Structure 1
């Protein structure tokens, strides 16, 4: 679970102060199943996610994260949700404010496996099998199920 170099460089300048970052979450479907993995750091089940690199297109980032973390090739097909995640404070004191862009993705190729150590288990599961997935991730999956619904936005009321 390596921290990107650009984040380490910023942390040298700002210490533990809040850092705004753009994150992506991949809701990957193959047939009637969704890709879920168990995180190595906290053991929780969730979709593949990661940080957008400087200058990287978010849809490209979600494709990259799926390849790096789960060893699968996907195609991002639509934006399902845009939301500000409540501030996270990591064990080392670093604070991060993530803008999360949730993409519906279609599986293209590859069998899922823990590719880079960020996940200890990963696979495709039926929607009825997601009992160990936190509510916020189930919501993301629900919003991505429809293939052509417009993106949802939190706030803006």
Structure 2
């Protein structure tokens, strides 16, 4: 008896799909936007290039590094000191891009090793576009290869 009902449903399913596709064929074609819809109140980004200095990101990097190492890699590594903080580039590409300040610094880790950190401060790059955003990479500790090879993708 079950097979009887299944055999009845198969042609109905195919017919329903045919009717749906037939109705879609008679729908209206897409039209271009009229002048009011075109760029109405869409003035584009207004980046002023107000990006903080390199030193402003160090607290964020220290906290995020500790959080990543302890939560994801089960490591007790922490950044204990910074040295030779320097700007490597500011808005290195054309002016239509989001303003970024690229920096590098030497970091001393809790294991006693000296490494380099490459980072960028991004205008309106924080959560949901509010505040400065920071992207960083510690050379030799990019374990998920997000900026591989050797943190090259974190530099300009």
More helix by share: 2
Considering Cα pairs closer than 8 Å and 6+ residues apart, tell me whether 1 or 2 has the greater RCO: 1
More strand by share: 1
Whether TM exceeds 0.5 here: the answer is no
TM-score where L is the length of structure 1: 0.31
Q: State the structure with more CA Rg.
A: 2
